[in-house]
Amino acid sequence: MATHDYSISNQAFPATRADINNALTAIKSSNSGAAAPTTTLVAGQLFYDTANTKMQVYNGSSFNDVALDASGNLTVTGTLTESSSIQYKTAINTLPNQLDNVMKLNPVSYVKKATGVSEIGFIAEEVQKLCPNAVTEDAKGVQYSRLTAVLVSAVQELKQQLDDQALEIKELKKG
């Protein structure tokens, strides 16, 4: 096996996790440095940038499209896409009446302890009470893209209320 080839076995999760950790350790030790490699590069190759403490993926022409830094920040310069095809889903139901849940959401600003960076968002434990499917299992992370469906449902509900009121006003003006 060449120094840039790593094997992840198809096995039970703890062993797979160990394989992944071993591969990442090997990548960090053999494919790392202050400057990206310039020879024998292939698309998908991982490089650990020690100068900037980032794991990067080579896209065929550069290492700038995907980076995972030591603080856990993932930067994607392209488009982040989540699979959403009907072929991956069963038991599909319309998400009804989410306006009340949206009104109970508590948007906050805060300073992230690990980085000292000022951010905006929600508190995962609060969101979990209203939209459990939008929170990670350990209740430490909000899957913000999942909140899109809740917000669209709430907007649709508001639109229906506006349409109903417009019809009622129209009827009152006639009478």
Q: Encode the chain (175 residues) as per-residue pLDDT tens digits.
A: 344 445 555 555 555 556 666 666 666 556 666 677 766 777 777 777 778 777 777 777 877 667 777 777 777 777 888 888 999 999 999 998 999 999 999 999 999 998 899 999 999 999 999 999 999 888 789 999 999 999 999 999 999 999 999 999 999 999 7
In a domain, 54, yes or no: yes
Provide the domain limits for residue 26. Answer: 13-76
Indicate if 66 and 138 belong to the same structural domain. no
Token pair in block for residue 22: 């071993």
Asked whether the beta carbons of 48 and 31 are under 8 A apart, the reply is yes
Indicate if 72 and 142 belong to the same structural domain. no
Indicate if 111 and 170 belong to the same structural domain. yes
- Which helix (H) or strand (E) segment is 16 a member of? helix 13-30
In a domain, 1, yes or no: no
Distance CA 55, CA 68 (A): 5
Asked whether the beta carbons of 106 and 126 are under 8 A apart, the reply is yes
Indicate if 49 and 23 belong to the same structural domain. yes
In a domain, 85, yes or no: no
In a domain, 81, yes or no: no
Greatest Cα pair distance in the chain: 85
Indicate if 108 and 168 belong to the same structural domain. yes
Indicate if 71 and 108 belong to the same structural domain. no
Structural domains of the chain, count: 2
Asked whether the beta carbons of 142 and 131 are under 8 A apart, the reply is no
Distance CA 60, CA 50 (A): 21
Indicate if 99 and 170 belong to the same structural domain. yes
Among the candidates 45, 76, 107, a domain finishes at: 76
In a domain, 4, yes or no: no
Indicate if 49 and 102 belong to the same structural domain. no
To the question of pTM greater than 0.85 for the whole model, the response is no
